Amino acid sequence: MSPIGHSTASTSGRHDPQFLSGRLRVMLVDDHALIRSAVRQAIQGPDLVVVEEAESLAEGLERAERSRPDVVLVDIGLGGTGDGLQLVRELAPRLPNTTFVMLSASGSDADLLDAVMAGARGYLTKDVSPEALLRAVQSARRGELAMPRAMAARLIQRLADAARTRGGLDGPELVRLSARERDVLRLLAKGRTDREIAQALTISPRTAETHVAAILRKLEVRNRSEAAMLYRRGASAGSSDAGFDDAST
């Protein structure tokens, strides 16, 4: 086994015998060397070899394009150097023969959805067992959705909810919002202040403010006006905002 943080095939290129062995070639992208070492030990074997590692977004982009692995296991957070979602967004179109699987400490539905929308084929949390991790990498490469059943069920439910609420926003943005955030956005688009939103939803003004901040981040807009504009544009193309009115509380 090579030292932590240094892949046995990271600089040797396509002529390395490992590339010719028929084994599944995997790249690890995580800013923690200990995590990379543990993952390497968990999955590397007769049928799979870790051919590359990276600890930052920039390293990941450069080394993935150079080695073109079969599967990239990537964390969402990369220690302030960028994030794994950005890596997947940039590389998935350029490396159509590479499968991307998220391996993250976060199990949130928002991160799950963002990862799938970015182009990831799988999503695993870091408490996954070594055996399950290996099976997931192999199944993702076969074209299967590599994630726990409960997580897959939540993803399908979020997509189904979005299909039923087509009038709120057009595209994946709506799915990123929780039911409560959709309620807040509906009121925000009507020009309500945080205090008025809080009164309408029986929550504290601070909680309303937190929801608004989350909405701006998830919709990738700069301010409340842009969020409201995005909402109204989608609503005008759909069947009104009825889908928001019956959102759960």
Q: Is the per-residue pLDDT at 130 higher than 90? A: yes
The rounded distance, in Å, linking the Cα atoms of 145 and 222 is: 33
Average pLDDT over residues 120-140: 93
Backbone dihedral region for residue 82 (phi beyond 0: left; psi -120 to 50: alpha; all else: beta): left
The structure's pTM equals: 0.62
What interhelical angle do 194-201 and 205-219 show, nearest 10?
Answer: 110
pLDDT at 2: 36
* Mean pLDDT of the region 63-89: 91
At 135-194, the pLDDT tens digits run: 999 999 998 989 999 999 988 887 776 665 554 455 556 667 777 888 899 899 999 999
Q: Higher-confidence residue: 13 or 36? A: 36
pLDDT on residue 236? 60
Distance separating alpha carbons of residues 58 and 81, to the nearest angstrom: 8
Mean residue pLDDT across the chain: 81
Topology adopted by domain 166-245: Arc Repressor Mutant, subunit A (1.10.10)
Domain 17-153 and domain 166-245 have a common topology: no
pLDDT grade for 242, boundaries at 50, 70 and 90: very low
Q: Regarding predicted confidence, which is higher, 174 or 245?
A: 174
pLDDT-based confidence at 218, cuts 50/70/90? confident
- Position 3 pLDDT exceeds 50: no
pLDDT attached to residue 137: 94
Determine the CATH number of domain 17-153.
3.40.50.2300
Name the residue among 169, 142, 179 with its Cα closest to residue 228.
Answer: 169
Reference 245, options 203, 235, 159; nearest CA is 235
SS3 of 178-201: the string is CHHHHHHHHHHHCCCCHHHHHHHH
Q: What is the percent of the chain with per-residue pLDDT over 70, rounded to a whole number? A: 79
pLDDT grade for 234, boundaries at 50, 70 and 90: low
Residue 31: its pLDDT value, please? 94
The stretch 220-235 carries a mean pLDDT of: 84
Q: Which of 151, 210, 140, 138 is nearest to 181 (CA)?
A: 210
| Domain residue ranges in the chain | 17-153, 166-245
> In the prediction, which pLDDT does 161 show?
67
